[in-house]
Amino acid sequence: LADESCSWAYSLVDSSQVSTFLISILLIVYGSFRSLNMDCENQEKEKDGSSSAAGTFSSNNNSEWEHRLLSSSCVRAFRGIQTIDSTQALFLPIGASVSLLVMFFFFDSVQVVFTICTAVLATIAFAFLLLPMCQYLTRPCSPQNKISFGCCGRFTLAELFSFSLSVTLVLIWVLTGHWLLMDALAMGLCVAMIAFVRLPSLKVSCLLLSGLLIYDVFWVFFSAYIFNSNVMVKVATQPADNPLDVLSRKLHLGPGMGRDVPRLSLPGKLVFPSSTGSHFSMLGIGDIVMPGLLLCFVLRYDNYKKQATSEPPGPANMSGRMQRVSYFHCTLIGYFVGLLTATVASRIHRAAQPALLYLVPFTLLPLLTMAYLKGDLRRMWSEPFHAKSGSSRFLEV
């Protein structure tokens, strides 16, 4: 019994589990700060544009032209950024369920198209992940110059460098199918989604995460009773035909022309091998991205509160130490505890677990409790950034 308990405890600190914990938390933190940095940069550009416009028009027309400039600046700044509203939050689990069923029933028919689309998105996302490093490397060569590519637009040297590296990595992944390259692409997708998708309020956050919790629980625990198979696990683990192999067969090329490439495990998850190589630990990117969107929201709110000049004091019975605890750190600890609980549950039941069943309560409940104790719950619940003071640095979304 003692040996069995030691073996069970050792499995929790196995390299695959430790890697899953560390990488998922790092992706959430990095993606959240990338999102916040994007807001800060766009706000600075907006301020610069407003200042330059104010000097060119007479005082009686300033407010009108500043309003127009602010609107056009916001459109340019948030191009590509998606803010989820209440309706989208309610229907997203339904759309995800439909997509899951399509993949379950028609995977053989759509796998090539799906693989190509995934590869294209992963290329763009991984280029976004590499961009800061490339900007640092190319800064001595070309700080601000952009190269024109006609109708495709203008790009800096750093953007071209990061995109070239990303295309190279995707091509190597297609040729080898190595799990490490798949993980790299999945990391890029996680960071890009956390950085470019916004939750505007705590109400939308609760609607989205609660709906996805029900979605995750149903498709992991109850789908087998209806479809005679665990739909979620089968779709997540089913490899796809390599597009090179399909192209080779369509063109009737020889066995040496694209026929020896492996099938591809798509980057919709992170997998890490154990130290013994006997098994892999797997975590879906949805289990990183969806709680990551909540972490991104509370990080932006923490900075909003920090920058606001007219911040009202907390309740009289709140200690100064509690007031200094940030929502981001509280929610991040909850994510860690939830992920640990999901791992323990999977070891106990020896079966795949819906991670959001544990992640959602352990992130939302501490956040709601702390917001209530600090007196911020009403403001966070409904569009907190719309009542922004003029001194705040960050954009409202």
Q: Which residues are the active-site residues?
A: 216, 287
In Å, how far are 260, 303, 391 from 374, measured between CA atoms? 61, 16, 22
Residue 352 half-sphere exposure, CB side, CA atoms within 13 Å? 23
Tell me how far apart the alpha carbons of residues 368 and 330 are, in angstroms, rounded to a whole number: 11
- Asked whether the beta carbons of 356 and 338 are under 8 A apart, the reply is no
Residue 313 is classified by DSSP as: P
Q: Please state the φ and ψ torsions of residue 55, each to the nearest 5 degrees.
A: -80, -10
Between helix 356-374 and helix 327-349 the angle, nearest 10°, is: 150
Tell me how far apart the alpha carbons of residues 341 and 323 are, in angstroms, rounded to a whole number: 28
Closest listed residue to residue 287, CA positions, set 230, 355, 343 = 355
Tell me how far apart the alpha carbons of residues 347 and 366 are, in angstroms, rounded to a whole number: 25
